[in-house]
Chains A and B, each alone.
Chain A
Amino acid sequence: MAILVDRETRVICQGITGAQASFYTERAISFGTRMVGGVRPGKGGSRHLGLPVYDDVAAAKADTGADASVIFVPRENAADAIIEAIAAEIPLVICITEHIPVLDMIRVRECLAGSATRLLGPNTPGIITPEACRIGIMPREIFRRGRVGIISRSSTLTYEAVWQTTDAGLGQSTCVGIGGDPIHGLGFVDCLELFATDAETDLVVLVGEIGGSEEERAADYLSGPAYPKPVMAYIAGEHAPAETRMGHASAIIQAGSGAAAGKKRALRGAGVRVVDSPVDIGAAARDLLAR
């Protein structure tokens, strides 16, 4: 089924009446995603884009049997929206909203512990299993069904990696954006675990960047018992100005930790094929799959 989402995934949208949410819900419907409803407090009982609207997530879930929720709620209330979805035991929550206060996200992490929910994001472009399910804001034209799994922290760089694997004639099984914020839901390791047992994925591409420790933790994990598939990676920011906060909240190099060189070394040490330049992603993927 690829990972996390497939043709059967039933999706609701929190904040569905907003301009962005409406735009992407329409696109998701035309893509073939099974959109089954939306949530907007105070507008329960009405319909929007042909879908039923509910006052809260619990009601939406009870009525539609939703197993995923995509959140477009403005950052002021986004954390509460995630917590509401966790309380309603939605299995997969995808939060597109960016610039959520960090301490709000720590509160969300506290609620996630021991819950039935997996969170993607915030500040994620979403997730796509080509020809089956599209949740979020990624441009659909660049995708093609194939056997490469992609996990990425950055939005625009995800598109570049997708486009290159499409251009190389490979295509994707599932492409997951874990988001660029320092405090977030699923990470590289969680997604690697899912791809490990996915029959439709033959190669995993990690698109990382400076700052944080996602890449180091992935390297630790991949150094353990043999991972069943080849893994490759590109880490953005080798030549970014040091000690500087880049656009993503978590892309900060501090006092020698979180720098590109250390991440690459750790991943190479774990048997990952690391390309130094983003323009080599497509060719390296083709090369690894040909072996």
Chain B
Amino acid sequence: MNLHEYQAKAILRDHGIAVPAGRVAETPAEAESAAKEIGGERWMVKAQILAGGRAQGTFKGQDLKSGIRTVTNLTNVGTESRSMLGRSLITPQTGPDGMLVDRVYVEQALPVERELALALLVDETSQSLVLLLSAVGGTGIEATLRDQPEAVARIPVSTESGPDAESFDGALKALGLDGRGADSIRDLARQLTALARELDFTLLEINPVGLAGETCTALDAKIIADDNALFRQPLLVGLDDQDDSAGNRRRASRDGFNYIRMGGDVACMTVGAGLSMATLDTLVQFGGQPANFLDLPPDSQVNRVTSALELLLGGDGIGCLLINVFGGGIMRCDTVSDALQVINNVRPFRVPVVVRLAGTNAELANRRLREGLPGVVQAANMADAARLAVQLARSGKSADPRAPENWLKKIIHRVTGQQEERD
């Protein structure tokens, strides 16, 4: 789960880490009064979206540059906010559609002498926590690592004792950060480790860290919290605010499955992420276009499978529904056949349905389908299922509606080289 900058900074502030004074605002008027409360003569107005690269961003359909602006006049805080709110900000990380800005963060603009960056993250390669200290702040640490690897130090971190003290001192020295403010950088690193442990953060990036005199201030903050640990983090529940105008992903995650729209004409339902990805690969290999990625967890019961099927069948431009399930673990194939029956009882399928069931209880489920849903096409393996789905999605659009059975049989015969098995 990604946190907005304003949420991340509130957490940092509550944990004794210095951040500039700031307020979140949803309207230009709120932004102006926030600036007034904060005081001073220079403010930052920052678009709140869950993606990086805001400073290099542009607003969709407008000539307006940047999601982060410095303002030196109280009325302009309102004007600049108005030009961001309700518009989509496109950054290198958002994709071409950008992300809708519905909040800005108004913050005191602090003068700093030097900028650096600190990031605490879970490193898959070393299977441990790692602290990255960069002598360059403001640009992405990944870009710095690529372009100036000598400016970034990697410091091992123990969950018990925090950053390795010797490596940290060596890194400060090597990066020329061992002068004034070194203690403050050291403290900040220790605080970040403690915070990540306390709140189950898998990424905590302060970039830039502003150094003025002997003190460090977190000028920007990016936090990713571990979804798997939300059960023990009541403070974080309710901060979830993923942008998704269609609402489908939110619904899917509420119902307990992963759903991503992809725009093709073959709707896919599978169990398990690995087989889901493999099914997409196979569909594309046979010239098909997946309408979605949908991965049901293996502990799904009939009602969850049913709600996934409803979501898929309600999609635009669907020419065929492909179901590929390998029963195993606690997933049984008859759960899928029963859910199909439930859906069909409410509203008979309007698109061809291709089903490949294997593994636990596949025989039982296939028999139920043959008996209860003779219109469903059963495939013997993943290759046949994908080929059939691609052909049916394509032919369904041009088929003679008066004789649907004929073209179905022809395609099955052509694809599998066998007579249809449900005669």
Contacts and interface: CB of A to CB of B under 8 A. Distances in A.
Interface residues of A, number: 60
A159 B359 CA distance: 8
A246 B295 contact: yes
B273 A213 contact: no
Nearest to A241: B260
A279 B383 contact: yes
Contacts of A184: 127
Contacts of B283: 239
Given A102-B226, A180-B273, A239-B284, A213 B278 contact: no
B273 A247 contact: yes
Contact of A210 (B160, B277, B285, B298): B277
Contact of B122 (A75, A106, A246): A106
A101 B226 contact: yes
Interface of B: 93, 95, 122, 124-125, 127-129, 142, 158-160, 196-197, 200, 202, 226, 228-229, 231-232, 258, 260, 262, 270-278, 280-285, 290, 293, 295, 297-298, 326-331, 358-360, 381-383, 386
A173 interface: no
Contact residues of B: prevailing secondary structure: mixed
A248 B284 CA distance: 21
A231 to B, nearest CB: 19
Interface stretch (A39-47, A84-92, A134-142): A134-142
A140 to B, nearest CB: 9
Given A125-B329, A139-B359, A240-B277, A101 B285 contact: no
Contact of A241 (B158, B202, B293, B297): B293
Contacts of A154: 272-275
Interface string A250-291: 110001000000000000000000001111000000000000
Nearest to A142: B359
B125 A103 contact: no
A104 B330 CA distance: 25
B358 A163 contact: yes
Contacts of A110: 128, 158-160
A112 to B, nearest CB: 9
18 contacts: A106-B122, A106-B127, A106-B159, A125-B329, A137-B329, A137-B330, A139-B327, A141-B359, A142-B359, A155-B272, A155-B329, A160-B326, A209-B273, A238-B281, A239-B281, A241-B260, A247-B258, A279-B383
A209 B200 contact: no
A48 B95 CA distance: 55
Nearest to B386: A279
B280 A240 contact: yes
Contact of A278 (B93, B202, B260, B382): B382
A243 interface: yes
- 8 nearest A-B residue pairs (beta carbon): A154-B274, A247-B273, A156-B272, A157-B274, A101-B229, A156-B275, A279-B383, A247-B295
Contacts of B274: 152-158, 180, 207, 209, 236, 248
The listed residue with most B CB atoms (<10 A of its CB), out of A75, A245, A279, is A279
Contacts of B196: 103
